[in-house]
């Protein structure tokens, strides 16, 4: 009866093998052990002496290592060898049979020797039957080299024989060697790359190129306090394809994230080197507080770290934790999502030296088209037509017989050309890594030098990193990871305003006269101030001289160091203790000499402060200690558990000290002469603040037979940022997953290679408030001093009221997802739908003036985000010489404000770009609508002659039935700007304000393509944003001169303004602007499609490099921000100079974005 049952099983598995390629050869070997084949050779084989050390390796790896080391074939059925079983064994000359017995006995396994093959089987009293023996086929020796698509060798690739347990691992040069049947199939596996099955077909040499995986479900991803296979993840986790992303020539890794992962929205303020990058995961949760994700760098949780400190070449992986199941383990800081950054570590093997260098050029993508001399003079005369005023344009430009036509042939002054430049960009990275099974190390250093496309601006990084991992003994491992960087940034932000638009850098670049007047003796290019400008009302300055003399330097020293110790309490129980520090020391220098806007005695500031400057020192130190226990256990090879529990502590201290001085007598000393000037009280700052946090965390993972998954996590956080009564908060989550592909019915679907359904729900928090927001604060501000007995007297005044009921902001999130793979994962699809509701918002709410305060933090209001995410990966073409990998992702997010402060239906926000506009609302957030909509009047073209009556004197008088533009009827003239009357009262005023644009996109995404042909590789990456608007304030100032500034140059488009001979134009006439706020005239579609990265490389053949002892040499050309397709008229559509949740898409005097093109080399020894 037993024999009959066994035969049925053989038939069953053989049928499955023929249809699906499932491993069955091991089963046949198992049955074959019922025969006795003891020969003298066999006895010698199992009595071979063994010298080996196995430390906490899986049983499967232990058997494979024995096979390779002893040259013995070991066969087993996969179901017998649980990959979670760990082996620790040491042998010094013991016989192979004894070593096998020791290894197999704890797992109730034994072995048989069949035709010189060691066959693993369950312990049984069954007698082998000779008729069930199977003959082992003849073998050949096979060798080859494994590379990636760029030609770089891949060490550590697993090369196994299909349906056999034998195999090999590629060495540091990507080489492998093994023995296999002539008709067998080799399987090449490597994390991050697509598995390849290659028929041997009698060949002795097989070289392959492995393709980068397009988020294959077998990828290992880093999650909170552990790692897990992508196929086993129950939450929503995205992973950046670093092999392609790192081809982008960028200074910091956050610059290549945009468009790489569904649900991840990344945008920079402007194009200035080192400018802020805004990262948002699945929409904004908070209205007035920070929405950036928690960033965990090598296990160190940080809020808003300086990502410039990390060399992108040092990064091993980047994961995006998006749903509550993935982020709740970080509790009070997980609501905005989590960015997991893991840097490279050393690997066992010979030392590997890698050098990567590139050098290139940056140039501005787009420049504004401004009026030429003829257009400028024509406009000025039209604006001020007086022929008697000696300061009027006619007197300046039409004297001595010159006519307007004279200026058609005059070469203009190109201020943009003098301010902007082609700037070099260079980067050099050197790394050394290696080690053995006990000690592994990685050392690296880099230099990045990026000049800005605006003169006197740059960013430099000098960085070094060291990583050591040590296996102390069979129970204990320890390691250290340290990164140090020295950063230098120089240059003023062009949008930086001193409360007046004329103080911004590009105001003078765009607005300065493009032509000299006849009375300009030396030319305005060499003068600090334009003699035609009244400095009491217009702070225009020679932008070139000002920029060359301004000192705005930031120096930052960053140290991040982590250490860990990991102790194996039991084979299935591990204790991990980590400690880390993150120290930032920054210094900001500002100096204004007599040739700057803020230091010249002819300006408002200079007349008061003369030559002046100040120094600010900022220090931020934080530390973390995390202690976790991880229990991993499998029962009956079906029930798999992974449980994590831990306690963590973290704290930090921030200090800021600043002083300054004015009226420095010797400006040549620069900041070294501050002691000679007068102390500037307004520049004196001394503050210190600290915080503490303690947490308890736990996560429970269970799966049954790799089919049904359940995850639950819980975190309790206690923070000093909240009052005692609300200090602790609790954040649970749960997730379910069904791995459909492992069901029997799914295996009958020939096209389907993977399928999984996911669902999760949980709570996460946001603690982004200042350290003591719940406490009332008092101070002695300089502005509140008074004079008594000829001395300044300070007075203590209340600053903020505090709130003893303040607590965490909480986000409740529900997520459903599906992961699919087709045709052996040549096509993959991941889709998620989510709904997030954030309540108890940490809202910096406005208070009635009667309270004596302007605002206070309250837990009021709520906001909702709902969205869809799709990621499609494909390997459309895969031949021996040519491969094409593609990935496409798109994200939709719909944001809605659900509740504001008590009785409040909307929240308006002004922007401090000019004092005259600081009280005018630019944005509005209304209940039931998205946050941060653009707010103002609806532009309705211009008034035409038909809108007027003409009196007896020939004057035009606006008809009674025609709506005004806010100006009095008698002053409105044909060609003036016109707005829509929203309430029908025939008068345009603040009551006619309405939503005129939206700063949030409808969807964002990216499309990545990697092509390889023989030794060539090409990467093409597109990024886009669709449906968002931009408030282009440059047009308000330079396309119609809304501020009515004399001799202010305008955009060339304003040449087509309304005039009696050009009444078809919708652009208002000279002096035709009037309005009490922003309007839809300057709101533009900010949608764009950008060829973000283009990289072409060539790897030299191995035959050329072999004699030079070089493993890999790749030369490449790479470009960033190559081409942008957009309808936006500004310099670049990816802009937000006054970035906040409430004010998206505002553009004025932004630093131009650069197109970068470099040539580089990657060299590996």
DSSP H or E stretch at residue 171: none
Cα(219)–Cα(194) distance, rounded to whole angstroms?
9
Q: Are 784 and 796 in contact (CB under 8 A)?
A: no
Position 1 pLDDT exceeds 50: no
Assigned superfamily of 241-343: TonB-dependent receptor, plug domain (2.170.130.10)
Q: Are 862 and 838 in contact (CB under 8 A)?
A: yes
- Residues ≥6 apart with Cβ < 8 Å to 727: 718, 719, 720
When mean pLDDT is compared across 471-480, 491-500, 1115-1124, the lowest value belongs to 491-500
Confidence at 90, pLDDT banded by 50, 70, 90: confident
When mean pLDDT is compared across 153-167, 609-623, 1122-1136, the lowest value belongs to 153-167
Position 810 pLDDT exceeds 90: yes
Instruction: State residue 1082 phi and psi, 5-degree precision.
Output: -100, 5
Q: Are 1089 and 1124 in contact (CB under 8 A)?
A: yes
Q: Are 148 and 167 in contact (CB under 8 A)?
A: no
When mean pLDDT is compared across 134-138, 704-708, 1089-1093, the lowest value belongs to 134-138
DSSP H or E stretch at residue 976: none
Q: For tokens 């309250």, name the residue.
A: 858
DSSP 3-state of 312: helix
Between 499 and 1165, the higher pLDDT residue: 1165
Q: Are 344 and 312 in contact (CB under 8 A)?
A: no
According to DSSP, the β-strands at 226-229 and 196-199 are unpaired
Ranked by mean pLDDT, which of 1074-1078, 1107-1111, 1156-1160 comes out on top? 1156-1160
When mean pLDDT is compared across 92-106, 292-306, 767-781, 1090-1104, the lowest value belongs to 92-106
The helix-helix angle for 59-70 and 96-104 (nearest 10°) equals 170
Strand partners, 786: 793
Position 971 pLDDT exceeds 60: yes
Secondary structure (H, E, C), 492-510 = CCCCCCCCCHHHCHHHHHH
CA distances (Å), origin 725, targets 140, 287, 775 = 74, 24, 13
Compute the mean pLDDT over every residue in the chain, rounded to the nearest whole number: 89
Between 513 and 210, the higher pLDDT residue: 513
When mean pLDDT is compared across 137-141, 448-452, 638-642, 797-801, the lowest value belongs to 137-141
Q: Are 88 and 55 in contact (CB under 8 A)?
A: yes
Say what the pLDDT of residue 1126 is: 97
Say what the pLDDT of residue 23 is: 32
Q: Are 596 and 546 in contact (CB under 8 A)?
A: yes
Cα(950)–Cα(1063) distance, rounded to whole angstroms?
17
When mean pLDDT is compared across 105-109, 302-306, 478-482, 1036-1040, the lowest value belongs to 105-109
When mean pLDDT is compared across 182-196, 263-277, 412-426, 871-885, the lowest value belongs to 182-196
Q: What is the pLDDT of residues 49-87, one digit of tens each?
A: 888 878 777 887 778 777 777 777 787 766 666 656 677
DSSP 3-state of 30: helix
Cα(1049)–Cα(510) distance, rounded to whole angstroms?
7
Position 39 pLDDT exceeds 50: no
Say what the pLDDT of residue 89 is: 80
- Alpha-carbon dihedral 79, 80, 82, 86, rounded to 10 degrees: -160
CA 741 from chain centre, in angstroms, equals 33
Domain extents for the chain?
A: 2-132, 139-210, 241-343, 770-803
What token pair was written down for 161?
């024989």
Confidence at 9, pLDDT banded by 50, 70, 90: very low
Q: What is the pLDDT of residues 1023-1035, one digit of tens each?
A: 999 999 999 999 9
Q: Are 138 and 182 in contact (CB under 8 A)?
A: yes
Cα(815)–Cα(361) distance, rounded to whole angstroms?
44
Question: What is the largest distance, in Å, between two alpha-carbon atoms of the chain?
Answer: 129
Average pLDDT over residues 388-399: 88
Assigned superfamily of 139-210: Carboxypeptidase-like, regulatory domain (2.60.40.1120)
Computed on alpha carbons and rounded to an integer, the radius of gyration of the chain in Å comes to 35
Position 698 pLDDT exceeds 80: yes
Average pLDDT over residues 907-913: 93
CATH number of 2-132: 3.55.50.30
Position 551 pLDDT exceeds 80: yes
Q: Are 171 and 145 in contact (CB under 8 A)?
A: no
DSSP 3-state of 329: helix
């Amino acid at each position: 009866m037993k024999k009959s049952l066994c035969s049925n099983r053989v038939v069953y598995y053989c049928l499955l093998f023929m249809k699906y390629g499932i491993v069955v050869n091991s089963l046949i070997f198992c049955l074959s052990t019922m025969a006795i084949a003891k020969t003298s050779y066999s006895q010698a084989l199992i009595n071979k002496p063994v010298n080996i050390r196995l430390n906490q390796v899986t049983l499967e790896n232990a058997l494979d290592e024995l096979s390779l080391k002893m040259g013995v074939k070991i066969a087993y059925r996969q179901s017998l060898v649980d990959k979670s079983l760990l082996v620790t064994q040491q042998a010094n000359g013991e016989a192979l049979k004894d070593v096998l017995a020791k290894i197999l006995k704890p797992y109730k396994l034994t072995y048989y020797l069949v035709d010189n093959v060691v066959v693993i089987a369950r312990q049984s009293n069954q007698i082998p039957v000779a008729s069930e023996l199977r003959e082992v086929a003849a073998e050949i020796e096979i060798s080859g080299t494994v590379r990636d698509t760029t030609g770089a060798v891949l060490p550590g690739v697993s090369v196994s024989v299909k349906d056999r347990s034998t195999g090999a691992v590629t060495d540091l040069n990507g080489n492998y060697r093994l023995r296999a049947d002539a008709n067998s199939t080799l399987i090449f596996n490597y994390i991050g790359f697509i598995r390849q099955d290659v028929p041997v077909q009698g060949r002795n040499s097989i070289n392959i190129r492995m393709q980068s995986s397009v988020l294959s479900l077998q990828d290992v991803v880093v999650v909170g306090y552990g790692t897990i296979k992508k196929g086993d993840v129950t939450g929503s986790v995205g992973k950046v394809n670093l092999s392609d992303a790192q081809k982008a020539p960028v200074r910091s890794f956050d610059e290549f994230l945009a468009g790489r992962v569904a649900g991840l929205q990344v945008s920079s303020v402007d194009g200035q080197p080192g400018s802020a990058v805004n990262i948002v995961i699945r929409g904004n949760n908070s209205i007035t507080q920070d929405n950036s994700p928690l960033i965990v760098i090598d296990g160190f949780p940080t809020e808003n770290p300086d990502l410039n400190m990390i060399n992108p070449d040092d990064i091993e992986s980047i994961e995006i934790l998006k749903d509550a199941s993935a982020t709740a383990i970080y509790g009070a800081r997980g609501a905005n999502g989590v960015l997991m950054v893991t840097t490279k570590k050393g690997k066992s093997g010979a030392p590997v030296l890698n050098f990567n260098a590139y050098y290139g050029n940056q140039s501005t993508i787009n420049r504004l088209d401004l009026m030429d001399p003829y257009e400028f003079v024509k406009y000025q005369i039209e604006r001020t037509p007086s022929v008697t005023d000696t300061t009027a344009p006619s007197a300046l430009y039409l004297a001595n017989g010159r006519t307007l036509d004279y200026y058609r042939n005059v070469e203009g002054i190109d201020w943009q050309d003098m301010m902007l430049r082609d700037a070099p960009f260079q980067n050099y990275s050197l790394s050394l890594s290696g080690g053995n099974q006990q000690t592994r190390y990685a050392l690296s250093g880099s230099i990045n030098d990026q000049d800005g496309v605006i003169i006197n601006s740059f960013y430099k990084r000098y960085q070094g990193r060291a990583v050591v991992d040590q296996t102390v003994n069979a129970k204990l491992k320890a390691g250290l990871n340290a990164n140090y960087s020295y950063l230098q940034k120089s240059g003023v932000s062009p949008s930086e305003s001193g409360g007046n638009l004329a103080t911004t850098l590009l105001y003078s670049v765009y607005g300065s006269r493009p032509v000299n007047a006849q009375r300009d003796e030396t030319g305005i290019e060499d003068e600090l101030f334009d003699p035609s400008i009244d400095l009491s009302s217009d702070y225009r300055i020679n932008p070139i001289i000002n920029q060359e003399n301004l000192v705005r330097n930031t120096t930052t020293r960053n140290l991040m160091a982590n250490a860990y110790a990991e102790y194996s309490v039991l084979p299935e129980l591990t204790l991990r203790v980590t400690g880390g520090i993150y120290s930032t020391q920054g210094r900001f220098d500002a100096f204004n000499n007599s040739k700057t806007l803020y230091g010249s005695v002819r300006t408002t500031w200079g007349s008061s402060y003369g030559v002046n400057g100040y120094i600010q020192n900022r220090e931020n130190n934080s530390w973390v200690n995390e202690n976790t226990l991880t229990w991993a256990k499998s029962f009956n090879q079906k029930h798999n558990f992974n449980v994590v529990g831990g306690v963590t502590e973290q704290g930090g201290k921030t200090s800021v000290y600043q002083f300054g001085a004015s009226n420095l007598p010797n400006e040549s000393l620069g900041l070294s002469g501050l002691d000679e000037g007068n102390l500037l009280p307004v520049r004196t700052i001394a503050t210190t603040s600290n915080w503490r946090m303690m947490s308890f965390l736990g996560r429970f993972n269970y799966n049954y037979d790799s089919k049904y998954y359940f995850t639950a996590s819980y975190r309790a956080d206690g923070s000093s940022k909240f009052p005692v009564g609300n200090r602790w908060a609790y954040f649970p989550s749960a997730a379910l997953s069904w791995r459909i592909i492992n069901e029997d019915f799914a295996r009958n679907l020939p096209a389907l290679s993977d399928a999984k359904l996911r669902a999760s729900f949980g709570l996460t928090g946001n603690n982004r408030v200042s350290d003591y927001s719940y406490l009332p604060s008092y101070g002695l501000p300089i502005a509140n001093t008074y004079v008594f007995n000829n001395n300044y007297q300070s007075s203590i005044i209340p600053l903020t009221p505090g709130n003893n009921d303040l607590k965490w902001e909480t986000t409740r999130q529900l997520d459903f997802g599906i992961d699919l793979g087709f045709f052996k994962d040549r096509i993959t699809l991941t889709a998620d739908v989510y709904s997030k509701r954030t309540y108890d918002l940490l809202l910096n709410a406005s208070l009635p003036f009667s309270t004596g305060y302007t605002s206070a933090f309250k837990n009021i209001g709520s906001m909702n985000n709902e969205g869809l995410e799709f990621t499609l990966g494909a390997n459309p073409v895969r031949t021996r010489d040519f491969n094409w990998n593609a990935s496409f992702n798109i994200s939709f997010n719909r944001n809605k404000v659900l509740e504001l402060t008590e009785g409040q239906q909307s929240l308006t926000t002004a922007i401090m770009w000019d004092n005259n506009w600081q009280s005018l609302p630019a944005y509005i957030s209304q209940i039931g609508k998205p946050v941060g909509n653009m707010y103002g009047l609806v532009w309705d073209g211009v008034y035409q002659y038909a809108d007027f009556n003409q009196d007896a004197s020939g004057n035009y008088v606006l008809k009674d039935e025609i709506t005004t533009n806010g100006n009095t009827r008698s002053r409105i003239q044909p060609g003036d700007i016109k707005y829509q009357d929203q309430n029908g009262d025939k008068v345009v005023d603040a009551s006619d304000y309405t939503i005129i644009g939206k700063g949030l996109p409808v969807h964002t995404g990216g499309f990545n393509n990697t092509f390889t042909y023989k030794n060539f590789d090409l990467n093409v990456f597109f990024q886009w944003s669709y449906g968002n608007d931009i408030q282009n304030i440059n047009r308000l100032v330079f396309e119609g001169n809304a501020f009515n500034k004399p001799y202010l140059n305008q955009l060339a488009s304003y040449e087509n303004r309304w005039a009696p001979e050009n009444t078809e134009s919708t652009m208002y006439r000279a002096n035709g602007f009037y309005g009490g706020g922003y309007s839809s005239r300057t709101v533009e579609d900010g949608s764009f499609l950008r060829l973000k990265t283009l990289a072409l490389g060539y790897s030299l053949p191995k035959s050329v490099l072999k004699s030079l002892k070089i493993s890999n040499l790749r030369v490449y050309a790479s470009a960033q921000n190559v081409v942008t397709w957009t309808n936006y008229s500004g310099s670049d559509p990816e802009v937000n100079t006054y970035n906040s949740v409430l004010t998206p898409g505002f553009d004025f005097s932004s630093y131009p974005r650069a197109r970068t093109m470099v040539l580089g080399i990657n060299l590996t020894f």
